[in-house]
Structure 1
């Protein structure tokens, strides 16, 4: 048995790979931020080490941690959605995946710089893209099962 991947689907694989790389890149940013603040790698918000920071440094550290956690929490959903929806609608899901990547970048930069209010534009790109990928995956599945 062999798996044949069409050229359209390759963009879904590239998109899923970039999603993973983006998550790793922001993990690296969070680690470098810890080093800049003189914190050990294992420091978390609320830890004794983080308690030694000024209020401004603690807020900034917290925002980096929250951005990283948001990347990690949504990565499995985003990657699986772009790959599964791509089986039925490769171009649609690749474009939605690209919107997710851009949205996640805008979300991250906005949140780190401005706090919770800075993430709104990113969320406006992330949510519709995830909904589109999930919808395409479900619709394609139901259509393949002749349920619609």
Structure 2
């Protein structure tokens, strides 16, 4: 079996690029939050630099940091999955990538504005999209290897 990359694969590339841009954007949001609070760039949650913050400021800073960390942790998996699954199922994986992007936005904004309990709405979109992407990657690979 040979893999032919057609024009529909371009949407997979776009989805992977947007995923990377989201991660960079929320890194910028976290940095702006540090600047707003007068924290050094290297400040982390629970560090000496954050001791001067009020409880509310510390909680808000913590939310920004956690959202950024979640992006950093999941972006490599999402990007590689949308690109690899796209080799076999370009439209399915592009749609799943789009759902992931929207879910990650919902997750991020809900978490920052409303707290940890609100992230479930975004997770309800991101988790199934990752499962679809991974499933398409493994199934497409198994099919290419003539295992199924």
With normalisation by structure 1, the TM-score equals 0.96
User: By how many angstroms is 1:4 displaced?
Assistant: 6.6
- Structure 2, unmatched stretches of 5+, are none
CA displacement 1:119-145 (0-9 Å, x = unmatched): 011000000000000000000011111
Alignment of 1:49-64 (within 5 A): 49-64=49-64
- Once residues 68 and 54 of structure 1 are traced to their aligned partners in structure 2, the CA distance between those partners, rounded to angstroms, is 21
Give the total of aligned pairs.
Answer: 146
Alignment of 1:39-118 (within 5 A): 39-118=39-118
Backbone CA RMSD of aligned residues:
1.1
- Once residues 108 and 114 of structure 2 are traced to their aligned partners in structure 1, the CA distance between those partners, rounded to angstroms, is 10
1:136 lines up with 2:136 in the alignment: yes
By relative contact order (CA 8 Å, sep 6+), the higher-ranking structure is 2
With normalisation by structure 2, the TM-score equals 0.96
- Structure 1, unmatched stretches of 5+, are none
- Once residues 11 and 139 of structure 1 are traced to their aligned partners in structure 2, the CA distance between those partners, rounded to angstroms, is 20
SS in structure 2 opposite 1:92? helix
| Structure 1 residue runs of 4 or more that deviate by more than 6 Å after TM superposition | none
SS in structure 1 opposite 2:48? coil
